[in-house]
């Protein structure tokens, strides 16, 4: 495994983490515009470094797919966590420890 692969793996993990966190904070349209801007900037850098146009477009498309997939995953995880917190807050503390399905004593 060459040095370039390690750098790409680290960059992919960073993009995954940032995009997943963005799924909890940003609206979809804001993230779409931001990710398109990032991909266009990466394309420009790749072209200035002498990469062929086709290879640059493929790498940009891969980056865009990774960013969008991570964003959607972040949305699902944040929604799941918020639902779990909401359900826990709705039940009294005495109900949380009970295992049976019988009603609480009056």
Domain extent listing, the chain: 3-89
| Distance from chain centroid for Cα 87 | 24
Closest by CA to 30, choosing from 71, 79, 63, is 71
Distance CA 53, CA 20 (A): 29
Distance CA 42, CA 20 (A): 19
Span 48-74, pLDDT tens digits: 999 999 999 999 999 999 888 888 888
Q: What is the rounded average pLDDT for all residues in the chain? A: 80
Per-residue pLDDT at 105: 63
Question: When comparing pLDDT for 3 and 42, which is higher?
Answer: 42
Span 22-53, pLDDT tens digits: 877 778 888 888 889 999 999 999 999 999 99
Could you tell me the pTM of the whole model?
Answer: 0.67
Mean pLDDT of 90-96: 60
- Token pair of 100, please? 């049976």
């Amino acid at each position: 495994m060459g040095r370039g692969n390690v750098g790409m793996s680290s960059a992919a993990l960073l993009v995954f983490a940032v995009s997943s966190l963005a799924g909890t904070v940003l609206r979809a349209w804001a993230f779409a515009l931001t990710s398109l801007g990032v991909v266009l900037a990466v394309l420009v850098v790749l072209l200035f470094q002498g990469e062929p146009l086709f290879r640059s477009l493929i790498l940009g498309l891969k980056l865009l797919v990774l960013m969008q997939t991570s964003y959607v995953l972040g949305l699902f995880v944040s929604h799941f966590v918020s639902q779990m917190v909401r359900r826990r807050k709705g039940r009294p503390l005495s109900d949380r420890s009970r295992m049976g399905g019988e009603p609480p004593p009056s």
